[in-house]
Copies of this chain bind each other. A is one copy, B any other.
Amino acid sequence: MADKKLVEAITAMDVDFAQWYTDVVKKAELVGYTSVKGCVVLKPAGYAIWELIQKQLDAQFKATGVENVYLPVFIPESLLQKEKDHVEGFAPEVAWVTHGGLQPLNERICVRPTSETLFCDFYKDDIQSYRDLPKVYNQWCNVVRWEKETRPFLRSREFLWQEGHTAHATQEEASERTRQMLNVYADFCEKVLAIPVIKGQKTDKEKFAGATETFTIEALMHDGKALQSGTSHNFGDGFAKAFGIQYTDKENKLQYVHQTSWGVSTRLIGAIIMVHGDDSGLKLPPKVAPVQVQIIPIRQQAEGVLDAAYDLQKKLADVNITNPIRVKVDDSDKTPGWKFAECEMRGVPLRIEIGPKDLEAGKCVLVRRDTAEKIECALDDVTTKVPELLETIQKDMLEAARAHRDAHTYSAKDYEEFVKVFEEKSGFVKAMWCGDQACEDKIKEELAVTSRCMPFEQEQIADTCVCCGKKAQKMVYWGKAY
């Protein structure tokens, strides 16, 4: 009974995907609430995923020469206004501080929505000579955007992210770094989060305020909606000219620097939920699972059962000293059935059942969260079998997500087909585009569909724009998006 309750409390995905999402976020205890409107609490189970993302992504950043820094949370209004496109993009959605203590401020300051302007203000003094370049800095921090409608992880007034900001001597170098970081993100999504992504360039309409080029990774959620999961921007020398960031080159001439920025956020946790989850709850890829293996003793009062469980835990924790398996024993006084359901809800990749009969037979049962497959395993083999299985689960989850994405990727040659596919299906639609923003505007207005990206891997779906019928320039991934 109790076991069922826990699961019944979740709305089925197919009935109401949005409600399913909210239920999982709550029942898996990822998020909590306070009186602060539009903001959430990241509870231990949610924050631990972010810690694992941070740790692994940060290591990959550092391997490419990134150094971490920390810049102020505040931006004076005059600073935010220095780059015209940028301020237009962000001013409508920032939180303004007008009083410090009991005194009104001379100039109001906003809580950073992103830190391009701060990095520019810092670089303007910190960069003098070609010897000071490149600067490849990153910060892990909170940012604030005053959103009207919010959803945990996907859109909230405050969120956690990393923002890389680099400055280079040449346009080529900046351009290369923009693409390099996009590749780091794409690899990370595939190899760590088990989420396949489309890499491509944003259209001018969708690019970042102040950028010359914006690149994106786009993932497809279980409900067929797209999620922009990471972006990398090339600023050329636009910000450098607005802020006066110049360096003396080897010939002793003053040159402007070329800049980039790139970021991913806690939104990635939303992607994990919506790509992998099912009607039993969360499904975590082993590499970002705070608990990778949960040992559940059956008839734990029986002699030797708990000892065997702890023994197994210790053995597994010791398999790999540089990257220990994260393993727990659930020795609480709940029923095994309740523990199974809870373990599924929280997305633990592998559970181990061990009871008196298993002990007698010198074995235990391994149960995969991704496939529900049950595998008998001799106790002596656990330390080799479990690490293997975790790797298999990681790989299989990526393949399952890729298969789902591919099965929900369509193409359309003309507007009639395009409209029809969005009426009948949900997913990515590949279609040609003339390059004119008017067509994007029309599609957005009529179908609530946006251009997700011009993928690096172009195909020739047709010769003409899916919207206006003029000569096509680019194949675009279109979709409804979060």
In the complex, A15 has a CB within 8 A of chain B: no
Within A133-147, the residues touching B (CB, 8 Å) are: 137, 141-142, 144, 146
Within A40-79, the residues touching B (CB, 8 Å) are: 40-44, 47-48, 50-51, 67-76, 78-79
* Closest beta carbon of chain B to A478's beta carbon, Å: 29
* Closest beta carbon of chain B to A409's beta carbon, Å: 35
- Cβ–Cβ contact B122 & A76, under 8 A: no
In the complex, A329 has a CB within 8 A of chain B: no
Question: Chain B residues with Cβ under 8 A from A99's Cβ?
Answer: 95-96, 98, 108
- Cβ–Cβ contact A74 & B41, under 8 A: no
What separation, in Å, do the CA atoms of A368 and B386 have in the docked complex? 46
What separation, in Å, do the CA atoms of A76 and B38 have in the docked complex? 12
What separation, in Å, do the CA atoms of A42 and B141 have in the docked complex? 13
- Cβ–Cβ contact A97 & B96, under 8 A: yes
- Cβ–Cβ contact A101 & B146, under 8 A: yes
- Cβ–Cβ contact A95 & B92, under 8 A: no
Within A69-121, the residues touching B (CB, 8 Å) are: 69-76, 78-79, 92-102, 108-109, 111, 118, 121
Given contacts A92-B102, A121-B35, are A42 and B70 in contact (CB under 8 A)? yes
* Cβ 8 A contact of A95, one of B39, B78, B97, B322: B97
In the complex, A331 has a CB within 8 A of chain B: no
Question: Chain B residues with Cβ under 8 A from A47's Cβ?
Answer: 67-70
What separation, in Å, do the CA atoms of A273 and B246 have in the docked complex? 32
Interface residue count for A (Cβ, 8 Å)?
A: 56
Binding site for B on A (CB under 8 A): 32-36, 39-44, 47-48, 50-51, 67-76, 78-79, 92-102, 108-109, 111, 118, 121-122, 125-126, 137, 141-142, 144, 146, 157-158, 160, 321-322
23 residue pairs bridging A and B, Cβ less than 8 Å apart: A32-B125, A34-B71, A35-B79, A39-B73, A41-B69, A41-B70, A41-B71, A41-B122, A42-B71, A47-B67, A47-B70, A51-B68, A73-B73, A73-B142, A73-B144, A92-B101, A93-B101, A94-B101, A95-B101, A98-B99, A142-B142, A321-B321, A321-B322
**A-B complex: 7 closest residue pairs judged by Cβ atoms:** A39-B72, A44-B67, A100-B146, A96-B99, A42-B70, A36-B72, A101-B146
